Structure 1
Amino acid sequence: MLSVEAFSLTIMIASLAPLLGAFTLLFLFLFEKRIDLLEKQKREIALERELQTALYNQLNQEIQPHFFFNTLNSILSLARLDRKTELIRAIETLSKLLKFKYQTNTSFITIDEELTYVKYYLEIQKIRFRDRLYYECSIDPTINQAVTIPFLLQTFVENAFKHSFEKFIGEAFLKITIKKQDQEVYITVWNNTTESRDDQSHERGLGLENITKRLELLFPTGNTSVQLINTDGGTSVTAVFPFVLKTEI
C-alpha cells in the first residue's frame, strides 16, 4: 500500500509528465526552426557571394568596350543624320540600361523585371545591327511575377551577340521563349548560328556555371539545370527552375 507521500509524488509526476513532454516538443520545435534559420542565412550569404561574382562579370566584362563604343557610334550617326526622335529614344534606352545594371543588387528579381532590362538591351542592339537583326519573344504572361536570379536571361542574350552575331556575317535572328510546365519555369534563348566546340569559350562556360550555382542556391530543394546545345540550325541555351512567385519568398 502506497504511503500518502508516495501517492502524492505519483500524482505530481503524472500531472507534470504532459507538461514536460510539451516543453520538450516546444524546445525541439524551436531548435529545428533555429537550424532552418541558420541554413537559410547560410544560403542567403552564398547567394549574395555568387551575385557579387555575377555583378562583377556584368559590370567589368559583359559591357565590353566595343559594344559601348559601337553603340555610341550608332547614336552619333543618328545625330549626324538629324534623326532626332530616334536619337532621343536611343539615349534614353542606353541610360535606362546602364541604370538597371548598376542598381541591381538583390539575390532575386521577377521575370518581368529581368525582361524589362533585356528589352532595353535589345533596343540598343537593334540600333547597332539595324535590318540585320530580328528578334521575337514568346512569354507566358502567367509567370511574370515568378522569381529568377538577376542577369540569367540577360547573360543568355548577351552571349548570343558576343559569341555568335558579332563573329558571323549575315542575318541575326534571336528568339526568347519563357514558359511554365509542370510547376517549373523554362527560359530558352535560341539564335540562328551553330557554334563549334571551340566557339563555346571558357568565358561563356564560367557565366553559365555561375548561373547554375545561383539557381541551386535560390532553389535548394527544386529541380534546376542549365543546358547549352546546338539544335534546329542554331544554338540554344535553356534554364529550368521551380515556379515560385515573389510573394512566396
Structure 2
Amino acid sequence: MLTVETFSLYIMIASLAPLLGAFTLLFLFIFEKRIDLLENQKREIALERELQTALYNQLNQEIQPHFFFNTLNSILSLARLDRKTELIQSIETLSKLLKFKYQTNNTFITVDEELTYVNYYLEIQKIRFRDRLHYEISIDPDVYEAITIPFLIQTFIENAFKHSFEKYIGEAFLKTTIKKKGKAVHITVWNSSPDSREELPHVSGLGLENITKRLDLLFPTGQTSVQLINSDDGSSVLAIFPFVLKSEI
C-alpha cells in the first residue's frame, strides 16, 4: 500500500518529468546549433585560407612576367604608332585588371562580378594577340547573380592561354558558356588548341586543385566537380556547382 509520502513523490516526479524532458530537448537544440555554428565557422576559415592560396597563385603565377611584359610591349607599340585612343583604353583596362585582382578578398562573388574581371583580362589579351584571338561569352540571364568562387572562370581562361594559345601558332578561338541546368550551374571554357598537360582528363595544376577545394568548401552539401578534357577540336574545362543566388545567402 502506497504511503502519502511515496504517492507525493510519484506526483512530483510525474510533474517534473515533462519539464526535465523539455529542458533536455532545449539543451540538445542549443548544443546542435552550437555545433552547426562551429562547423560553419570552420568552413569559412578554410574557405578564407584557400582563397588566400588562390590570391597568392594569381599574384605570383597568373600575372606572370611574360604576360605583364608582353602586355607592356603591346601598349608601347600603340604609343609608337600614335594610336592614342587605343593606348589610353589599354592602360585603363590594365589598371582595372590589377585593381580588381588586389582588392578581391571575399570568399565568394557573383558570376557577374567574376565576368567583369574576365572581360578586363580578355581585352588585354586582345591587344597582345590582335586578330589571332577570337572569343565569345554566352550566359543564361538567370546565372548573373548566382554565387561562385573568385577566379574560377579567370583561372580556366588563363590556363587556355598558358597551356594552349601560347604554345601553338595559328588562330586562337575561345568560348565560355555559362548555363543553369536544373539546380546546378555549368561553366565550360573551350579553346581550339589541345592542352599541353599530359594528365588530362584528370584535374591537374595548382589552380584547378585550388578551385576544386574551394567549391567543395563553399558548397559542402552540393554536387561539385571540375573536369578537364582534350578532344579532336580542342580542349575544355567544365565546372559544376549548385545554383545559389546571392540574395539567398
2:43 aligned with 1:43, yes or no?
A: yes
2-side partners of 1:197 and 1:247: how far apart? 39
Q: Is the 8 A contact 2:191 2:235 kept in 1?
A: yes
Count, aligned residues: 248
Bigger shift: 226-235 or 236-245? Answer: 226-235
2:162 aligned with 1:142, yes or no?
A: no
Aligned residue runs from structure 1 range 50-65, under 5 A: 50-65=50-65
Q: Is the 8 A contact 1:177 1:188 kept in 2?
A: yes
2:17 aligned with 1:17, yes or no?
A: yes
Identical counterparts, % of pairs:
82
- 1:237 maps to 237
TM-score by length of 2: 0.94
Amino acid at match of 1:157: I
TM-score by length of 1: 0.94
- 2:105 maps to 105
1-side partners of 2:104 and 2:203: how far apart? 22
- 2:91 maps to 91
Q: CA deviation at 1:197?
A: 4.5
Q: Is the 8 A contact 1:163 1:199 kept in 2?
A: no
2-side partners of 1:91 and 1:29: how far apart? 57
Q: Is the 8 A contact 2:203 2:226 kept in 1?
A: no
Q: CA deviation at 1:7?
A: 3.2
1-side partners of 2:73 and 2:195: how far apart? 28
Describe the shift of the 1:41–1:209 C-alpha distance in structure 2 as closer, same or farther (beyond 3 A).
same
Describe the shift of the 1:203–1:243 C-alpha distance in structure 2 as closer, same or farther (beyond 3 A).
closer
1-side partners of 2:63 and 2:75: how far apart? 17
2-side partners of 1:165 and 1:155: how far apart? 14
Q: CA deviation at 1:244?
A: 1.1
2-side partners of 1:145 and 1:38: how far apart? 28
Q: CA deviation at 1:204?
A: 5.3
Q: Is the 8 A contact 2:43 2:217 kept in 1?
A: yes
- 1:114 maps to 114
2-side partners of 1:203 and 1:244: how far apart? 24
Q: CA deviation at 1:79?
A: 1.5
Amino acid at match of 2:87: L
Q: CA deviation at 1:10?
A: 2.6
Residue 214 of structure 2 aligns to a residue whose secondary structure is helix
Aligned residue runs from structure 1 range 1-249, under 5 A: 1-198=1-198, 205-231=205-231, 233-249=233-249
Q: Is the 8 A contact 2:110 2:148 kept in 1?
A: yes
Q: CA deviation at 1:9?
A: 2.8
